[in-house]
Amino acid sequence: MTDFRRLLTTAPARPLAGMLARAVAAQALFPAGLPASPGFLLTTGRQNRFNWKGTECLYWAEDQETALAEYRRQFLGLPHGARQPVTLYWAEVRLSKVLDLPDEVTRRALGVTLKQLEADWGAGLPVTTAQHLGESVAEQSSICAIRYRSVAALKEGGAGCNVVVFKASLRPPDFVCILGPTKKPLQQWP
């Protein structure tokens, strides 16, 4: 397997600042039930495209359409799954070092292909190159996020990108912030 820890020390990374979107089932924001405060930055620790089980990270989309495509993809094949209440919300982010995987120079520096990064993952499947890369990012403190093409958006004819942010790799002045109506943070990492 590729030594991503070594490659990350010289891989190109870029800053990312702005607003990111997330669409989740409404019930996921209230794991203990109502009237609790919503868990906008709650991590489940579930395995995903760029992480193994137990890693604290959150997946965001760069736009609303991509966030909704990712939401719908979770429910493929379930007759009424995507029709449950959905919550769409945004985070303001400032991330100083992000791996930009749609960028060919970045992929070459890491020795990965789009095919490897977009490979199927999940229960019963072998650990993917993308998951090894994500875990390497989660274990260091320089790069805090990975930007990548949305497979869900591609399958719907779009071209959106997602960003996975690793909680343990965030260091001030970087942040992920859920803003309320008064611009006062409702929740924030770190």
Phi and psi at 90, nearest 5°, equal -125, 155
Q: Could you tell me how many residues make up the chain?
A: 190
Task: Using the Cα atoms of residue 58, residue 129, residue 135 and residue 103 in order, give the sign of their dihedral.
Answer: negative
Virtual torsion, Cα 140, 134, 176, 60, nearest 10 deg: 170
Q: What pLDDT score does 99 carry?
A: 98
Write the pLDDT tens digit of every residue in 26-65: 878 876 666 667 889 989 899 999 999 999 999 999 999 9
Question: Is the whole model's pTM more than 0.85, yes or no?
Answer: yes
d(CA 145, CA 61): 12
Beta 175-179 vs 86-100: how paired, if at all? antiparallel
Distance CA 116, CA 130 (A): 7
What digits encode the pLDDT tens for the residues 83-136? 778 899 999 999 999 999 999 999 999 999 999 999 988 867 889 999 999 999
What is the full DSSP assignment across 30-83?
Answer: -TT-TTSPP-TT------BTTB-TT--EEEEESSHHHHHHHHHHTTTT-SSGGG
Task: Give me the pLDDT at residue 29, please.
Answer: 80
190/188 Cα distance (integer angstroms):
6
184 burial via Cβ count (<10 Å: 0-12, 13-18, 19+): exposed
What is the residue extent of each domain of the chain? 4-189
